[in-house]
Structure 1
C-alpha cells in the first residue's frame, strides 16, 4: 500500500510539474500595445547627440530581434524574444564585467513594446528604448536610447 501511494504521488507531481511548465512556456505577451502619452515627449540619446523624439522619423518596419548602441565607450546590446515575451539588455564597459538586465514584456506589437519599467518604439533608425530602472549607472532612467538594428 505504501509503495502504491508513493508511485501515485510521483505521477501526480510529474503531471502537476508538466502542467505548470506548459502554462508558463505558452504565455506570450499581448500583441495589442500602446505607449504612455508622455513617451512622445522624451529626449533620446543617439551616440553623443541628445534629440527630441519629434525629430526622429517613424517607420513601418516591425521590431526586430537584436539591436546595439554605444554610450560613452560602453557597448549596449539588446535581444528581443517576441514569442517568450522578454527583452535582455547587456551593458559592457571596456575592462568591466557585463551588466545584464532582463525585462518581461507585457505587450509587443509591430512598432511598440512595453513592460512594467520599460517602453520601446520602432523608428526608422532602429529602436528607442526607455528603461525606468536600468540597473546600471551608465544608462539614464529618464532619457531614451536609440539602438541601431543589427
Structure 2
C-alpha cells in the first residue's frame, strides 16, 4: 500500500493518457473529454508543489507524440492552462465542485482555442463548432473526476 502511494499521481496521468488516445466509435469521438487536462488540473489544484507546469509540459509532449500532432502544440496549450490554474489554485480550491466545473469549462475552452490557434498557424485548418464539444463534456465530467481523484488522494494519503 505504501509503495503504491508514490505512483498514484503518475498512474492517474498514465490512465488519462490512455483514455485520451483510446479508440472510440466515430459518433462518440468528437465528445471525448480532455482526460489529460482534467487530471493535471486536479493535481495542480490539489498539490501544486508536486504537479505543475513541468509535468504539464512533459505530458503535453507525450500527448503530441501519441496523437501525431505537431510537436509542442498540446504541450504549449497544456502548459498555459496549468499556469493559469497554478497561479489561482488558492482561490479555485474554495469554490464548490460545480463552480469549479464552470472554471474547468473555461479552462478547457482556452485549451482548445490555443490548440486551434496553433494548428491554424501551422497547418491552416478551419474552425468548426464541433471542435468545442470536448469543452462541454469536460465540464460535465469534472465533478466525477474530482471525486475519484480526491478519494484516491485521501485513501493513499498523498501530500
Do the structures match in fold with TM over 0.5?
no
Between structures 1 and 2, the one with greater strand share = 1
Computing the radius of gyration over CA atoms, which structure comes out larger, 1 or 2? 1
- TM, length-normalised to structure 1: 0.30
For CA contacts below 8 A with separation 6 or more, give which structure has more relative contact order: 2
- TM, length-normalised to structure 2: 0.29
